[in-house]
């Protein structure tokens, strides 16, 4: 399972790139150091709720939308993990018959 901070970073980076913004652009808008934003995007730092709000504002997207995007990625990952476990776990109901 991917760490939540990595999923948050993926969503932030995708949003930034989709808008054609550089780390420097977002850094200036959010008033957060470029290096720190880079670490968040790479999943190396766990962003606080205040930082997420600042980055969402800098990206001109509601914080709720960012979190929904993270939730969607997490749901996909959970489904993939569940499918992997199901494929290696024997079917108990079939052996009980």
Q: What are the tens digits of pLDDT across the range 19-46?
A: 999 999 999 999 999 999 999 999 999 9
Domain that residue 30 falls in = 1-65
Q: What is the CATH number of the domain that holds 48?
A: 1.10.260.40
pLDDT in tens, 60-79: 999 999 999 999 999 999 88
At 59, phi and psi to the nearest 5?
-90, 0
Dihedral angle of Cα 58, 12, 8, 85, to the nearest 10 degrees: 160
- Left (φ > 0), alpha (ψ -120 to 50) or beta: where does 90 sit? beta
pTM: 0.81
Domain count, the chain: 1
């Amino acid at each position: 399972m991917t760490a939540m901070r990595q999923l948050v970073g993926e969503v932030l980076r995708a949003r930034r790139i989709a808008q054609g913004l550089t780390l420097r652009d977002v850094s200036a808008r959010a008033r957060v150091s470029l290096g720190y934003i880079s670490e968040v995007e790479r999943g190396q730092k766990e962003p606080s709720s205040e930082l997420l709000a600042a980055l969402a504002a800098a990206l001109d997207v509601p914080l709720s939308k960012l979190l929904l995007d993270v939730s969607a990625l997490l749901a996909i990952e959970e489904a993939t993990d569940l499918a992997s476990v199901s494929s290696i776990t024997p079917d108990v109901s079939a052996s009980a018959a």
